[in-house]
């Protein structure tokens, strides 16, 4: 990846007599070309989690071109503290920078140039918006009552993910609240999805290993332990847990996505492994399902006379948006534009987001940025054809800039 300074540079001159509603169109028009350039560069040169070395260099070059001195964190992460002219608390804004190990198949000149790696979850857009937030705040220091920490996080997609590592290195030190966005192809461009409480699900990963330590002949399964049969019994029983051992009013999904057994048609394998994910939005339901999953698998193994091991990997908890902050974001949307741009969502996403780790320690909120304009921008997240309506980049950065300013200047 080339890390040359961008062709487009956004002014660093302070914005005088700033009027959020009146200045919106002019400022966004000025910022938009740079954010498109940044986003397309990142889309063309994706890197997976904790390997975002060139991505990090590129982000640094853009920030340095605008007068910042970024600080490295967790090797490939970066942050800048934008101190206002007036004292006050510190609020954080997070942008994730990693891509997925999946092929990008969009038919566009900015498609990924790295085989098998693609920005199919919109982190290129998140990073571009994060840079936009930093550049706007840099011009609005006289309006900042405190400090805004804008940080660029590696490895949102991986497990273990990047958020805990950044917290170990102090990214939340003295921070009183945290914000982030996620692009959403189910919400129309120009609209912002808001939901109080659970916004995403927790996502844990599990592997169940059925190990008899001996193979058997398919003609005589009674002379051995049929590991495939045991594994299928486990899978079928696990599917019945959600809504049976937990309150069905709390959404949960258990999905088996991997099933590894033998290769021969007439040999019962000595070992079978099945694996998948467990997702839910309630902490108590999460614990109940985890415990029952482990006990169910082991008990079925004991009944069949075979050893069963469960390897359970805790992932991100659910994103729990602070209701008061969501209410204030809605007010900010009304103040800078059209109240109709706030789309209040009724249901959480069952996808996961490691931004949730930060919200265990500080209140915060994640906004869904609508990116759906036409068929080309309607593909779901993680789809090989996923793309966004780029016209949302500067307006989203502008909105979140005002959200951060409003947090530091409560009415």
Residue at a domain's end among 289, 313, 337? 313
User: Residue 214 contacts by C-beta under 8 Å, 6 or more apart in sequence?
Assistant: 224, 225, 270
Residue 196 sits in the same domain as residue 209: no
The CATH code of the domain that includes 238 is: 3.30.70.360
Contacts 24+ apart (CB under 8 A), 119-122: 119/42, 119/43, 119/46, 120/381, 120/382, 120/383, 120/384, 120/386, 121/157, 121/381, 121/382, 121/386, 122/182, 122/183, 122/371, 122/381, 122/386, 122/388
Give the separation between CA 94 and CA 198, rounded to whole angstroms: 19
- Within-domain flag for 163: yes
| Judgement on whether residues 293 and 374 belong to the same structural domain of the protein | no
Q: What is the pLDDT of residue 76?
A: 99
Q: Among the three residues 273, 296, 313, which one is the final residue of a domain in this structure?
A: 313
CATH number at residue 53: 3.40.630.10
Predicted local distance difference test score (pLDDT) of residue 4: 58
Q: Considering the domain boundaries, does residue 400 fall inside one?
A: yes
- What pLDDT, in 10s, does the model give residues 82-140? 999 999 999 999 999 999 999 999 999 999 999 999 999 999 999 999 999 999 999 99
Q: Quick one: 352 and 368 in the same domain? A: yes
Domain count, the chain: 2
290 domain-assigned = yes
Does one domain contain both 148 and 262? Answer: no
Residues 25 and 171 in one domain: yes
Q: Predicted confidence band at 411 (pLDDT cuts at 50, 70, 90)? A: low
Residue at a domain's end among 263, 298, 313:
313
Q: Residues 196, 206: one domain?
A: no
Same domain, residue pair 52 and 161: yes
Task: Specify if 9 maps to a domain.
Answer: no
Q: Quick check: 248 pLDDT over 70?
A: yes
Domain assignment present for residue 3? The answer is no
Q: Are 195 and 337 in the same domain?
A: yes
Give pLDDT tens digits for 1-56. Answer: 545 567 888 998 999 999 999 999 999 999 999 999 999 999 999 999 999 999 99
Same-domain pairing of 286 and 176: no
What pLDDT, on a 0 to 100 scale, did the predictor assign at position 148? Answer: 99
Asked, for residue 14, whether it belongs to a domain, the answer is no
Angle of helix 20-44 versus helix 393-408 axis, rounded to 10: 120
Which domain range does residue 31 map to? Answer: 20-200+318-408
Q: Are 72 and 156 in a shared domain?
A: yes
Regarding whether 179 and 38 lie in a shared domain, the answer is: yes
């Amino acid at each position: 990846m080339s890390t040359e300074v961008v062709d487009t540079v956004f002014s660093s001159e302070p914005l005088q007599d700033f009027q959020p509603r009146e200045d919106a169109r002019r400022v966004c028009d000025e910022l938009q070309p740079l954010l498109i350039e940044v986003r397309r560069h990142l889309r063309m040169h994706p890197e997976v989690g904790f390997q975002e070395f060139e991505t990090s260099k590129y982000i640094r070059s853009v920030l340095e071109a605008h007068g910042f001195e970024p600080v490295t964190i967790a090797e490939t992460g970066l942050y800048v503290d934008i101190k206002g002219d007036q004292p006050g608390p510190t609020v954080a804004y997070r942008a994730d920078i990693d891509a997925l190990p999946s092929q990008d198949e969009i038919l566009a000149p900015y498609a990924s140039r790295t085989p098998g790696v693609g920005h199919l979850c919109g982190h290129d857009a998140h990073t571009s918006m994060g840079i936009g937030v930093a550049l706007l705040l840099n011009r609005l220091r006289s309006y900042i009552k405190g400090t805004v920490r804008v940080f660029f996080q590696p490895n949102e997609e991986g497990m273990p993910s990047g958020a805990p590592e950044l917290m170990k290195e102090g990214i939340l030190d003295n921070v009183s609240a945290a914000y982030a966005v996620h692009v959403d192809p189910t919400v129309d461009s120009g609209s912002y999805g808001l939901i109080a409480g659970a916004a995403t699900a927790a996502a844990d990963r599990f592997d169940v290993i059925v190990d008899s330590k001996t193979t058997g002949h398919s003609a005589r399964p009674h002379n051995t332990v049929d590991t495939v049969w045991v594994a299928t019994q486990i899978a079928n029983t696990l599917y019945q847990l959600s809504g049976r051992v937990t309150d069905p009013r709390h959404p949960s999904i258990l999905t088996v996505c991997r099933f590894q057994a033998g290769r021969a048609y007439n040999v019962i394998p000595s070992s079978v492994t099945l694996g998948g994910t467990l997702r839910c939005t309630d902490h108590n339901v999460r614990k109940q399902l985890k415990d029952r999953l482990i006990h169910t698998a082991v008990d079925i193994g004991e009944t069949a006379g075979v050893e069963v091991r469960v390897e359970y990997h805790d992932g991100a908890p659910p994103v729990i948006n602070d209701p008061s902050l969501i209410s204030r974001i809605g007010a900010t949307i009304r103040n800078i534009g059209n109240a109709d741009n706030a789309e209040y969502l009724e249901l959480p996403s069952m996808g996961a987001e490691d931004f949730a780790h930060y919200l265990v320690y500080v209140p915060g909120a994640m906004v869904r940025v609508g990116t759906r304009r036409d068929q080309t921008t309607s593909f779901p997240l993680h789809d090989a054809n996923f793309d966004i309506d780029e016209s949302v980049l500067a307006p989203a950065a502008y909105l979140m800039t005002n959200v951060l300013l409003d947090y530091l200047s409560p009415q």
